C-alpha cells in the first residue's frame, strides 16, 4: 500500500494518538521523528519511520517525498512562525496537496499571546501557499489536568488562577481521531474547526468530578496569576511560554474559553470524551500507592 500521509510531531501529545488511530485503521503512513530513541513509540501498524528536523530543510524534503497529506505540528517555540513556514515551503516544493495544521483556540493576529499570533500567521501563510488546508483549533487538553496528580495526592487539591471561568476541555484522543478522519477522507479542505469537549466546566466542577471518581475529597484552590506563572517556570517551562499561557488564561476568565462546539461529533460521528469518563480512565494515577494496597 502506498504511503502518502506524513505525521509530524509523531510522538507528541496529539501526534501519538494520530499514530495509534491510523494504525488501528490499518492505514499506511509516514511518521517523522527527530530522535532515534523515540522511534519505538511510532513503529506500529503500517508506519514508515523517517528522521526529520524542523530546522533542517533537507531532512524535511526527504520526509515529504511522495507525500500528499500532512499533519503539521511542532513544539511550542518563540520562532514558531519561522519553523513552520519553512516546512510549508518544503511541502509546496514537494507537491503536498493538503496540510492539516494543529493551531489553537483563540488564534488571531491581534491576540495578546505571542503563540496565538504565531498560529494565526502560519494559518495565513498556508492559505497564501495555495496548498489545501484544514486548521484545527482545540481547547485546553484534558490531559493537562494530570499535572494536578501530585497535589491531589498530597493536599487533596487542584490549583488554578481561573476562578469561576468555564472551559470546555478536550481529550487528545478525540483530537487524534479527528485528525485521522480528516487525513483519510475528503470534504475538509478550506475548513477551520474549533474543537472542544462536550461541556464547559469550572474548576470547582472539575474538582467535584474528580472527587466522585476517586472517592476522596478534592477541593479547588484559586491562586494568583503571578503564582501560577512562577509555578510553571519552576517546573521547567520557558518564561516566554508561561507568560503566554497566563495571557491566554486571562481571556478565558473573560469568557473566551466557555464555547462548546459540535465539531468532534460532526467529523467523527461520536461524542467527545466527557470529563468524568476521562478521570475514570486515569483514576489510579490520583490514588496514592498506600491507598491502593489497603
Q: What are the tens digits of pLDDT across the range 184-240?
A: 999 999 999 999 999 999 999 999 999 999 999 999 999 999 999 999 999 999 999
Q: For the chain, what are the domain ranges?
A: 5-141+170-195
Q: What are phi and psi of 36, to 5 degrees?
A: -55, -30
pLDDT at 33: 87
In 3D, which of 79, 252, 71, 94 has the Cα closest to residue 161?
Answer: 252
pLDDT tens profile 25-71: 999 999 998 766 566 666 667 788 998 899 999 999 999 999 999 99
The CA distance from 208 to 214, in Å, is: 10
CA 149 and chain centroid, separation? 20
pLDDT tens profile 110-165: 999 999 999 999 999 999 999 999 999 999 999 999 999 999 999 999 999 999 99
Strand ranges, E, within the chain: 5-7, 29-33, 47-51, 69-72, 98-102, 132-138, 157-160, 191-195, 219-222
Per-residue confidence at 86, pLDDT binned at 50, 70, 90?
Answer: very high
The CA distance from 108 to 80, in Å, is: 14
Fold classification of 5-141+170-195 (topology level): Rossmann fold (3.40.50)
Q: Helix, strand, coil % (nearest 5) of the chain?
A: 50, 15, 35
Mean pLDDT value of segment 5-34: 92
User: With 0-12 CB in 10 A as exposed, 13-18 as middle and 19+ as buried, what is 38?
Assistant: middle
Q: What is the DSSP string of 57-81?
A: HHHHHHHTTT--EEEE-----TTHH
pLDDT at 70: 98
Whole-Å CA distances, 75 to 12, 102, 103, 172, 241: 8, 11, 12, 15, 11
Q: Which are the contacts of 223, defined by CB distance < 8 A and separation ≥ 6? A: 159, 160, 161, 231
Whole-Å CA distances, 280 to 71, 167, 171, 204, 285: 30, 19, 13, 18, 10
pLDDT at 293: 44
Mean pLDDT value of segment 18-30: 94
The CA distance from 141 to 184, in Å, is: 24
Looking only at Cα atoms, what is the longest distance across the chain?
61
pLDDT at 41: 61
pLDDT at 3: 73
Amino acid at each position: 500500500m502506498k504511503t502518502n500521509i506524513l505525521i509530524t510531531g509523531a510522538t507528541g501529545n496529539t501526534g501519538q494518538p494520530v499514530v495509534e488511530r491510523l494504525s488501528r485503521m490499518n492505514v499506511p503512513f509516514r511518521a517523522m521523528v527527530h530522535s532515534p530513541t523515540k522511534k519505538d513509540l511510532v513503529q506500529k501498524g503500517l508506519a514508515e519511520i523517517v528522521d526529520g528536523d524542523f530546522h533542517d530543510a533537507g531532512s524535511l524534503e526527504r520526509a515529504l517525498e511522495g507525500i500528499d497529506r500532512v499533519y503539521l505540528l511542532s513544539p511550542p517555540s518563540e520562532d514558531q512562525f519561522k519553523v513552520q513556514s519553512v516546512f510549508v515551503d518544503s511541502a509546496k516544493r514537494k507537491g503536498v496537496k493538503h496540510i492539516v495544521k494543529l493551531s489553537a483556540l483563540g488564534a488571531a493576529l491581534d491576540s495578546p499571546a505571542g503563540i496565538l499570533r504565531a498560529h494565526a500567521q502560519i494559518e495565513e501563510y498556508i492559505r497564501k501557499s495555495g496548498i489545501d488546508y484544514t486548521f484545527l483549533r482545540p481547547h485546553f487538553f484534558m490531559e493537562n489536568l494530570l499535572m494536578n496528580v501530585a497535589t491531589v495526592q498530597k493536599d487533596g487539591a487542584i490549583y488554578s488562577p481561573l476562578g469561576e471561568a468555564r472551559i470546555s476541555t478536550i481529550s487528545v484522543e478525540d483530537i487524534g481521531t479527528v485528525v485521522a478522519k480528516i487525513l483519510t477522507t475528503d470534504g475538509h479542505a478550506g475548513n477551520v474547526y474549533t474543537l472542544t469537549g462536550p461541556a464547559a466546566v469550572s474548576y470547582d466542577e472539575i474538582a467535584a468530578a474528580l472527587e466522585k471518581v476517586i472517592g476522596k475529597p478534592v477541593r479547588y484552590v484559586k491562586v494568583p496569576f503571578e503564582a501560577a506563572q512562577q509555578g510553571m517556570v519552576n517546573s521547567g517551562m520557558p518564561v516566554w511560554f508561561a507568560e503566554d499561557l497566563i495571557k491566554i488564561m486571562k481571556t478565558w476568565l473573560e469568557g473566551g474559553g466557555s464555547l462548546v462546539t459540535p465539531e468532534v461529533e460532526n467529523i467523527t460521528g461520536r461524542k467527545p470524551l466527557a470529563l468524568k469518563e476521562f478521570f475514570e480512565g486515569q483514576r489510579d494515577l490520583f490514588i496514592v500507592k498506600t491507598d491502593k494496597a489497603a
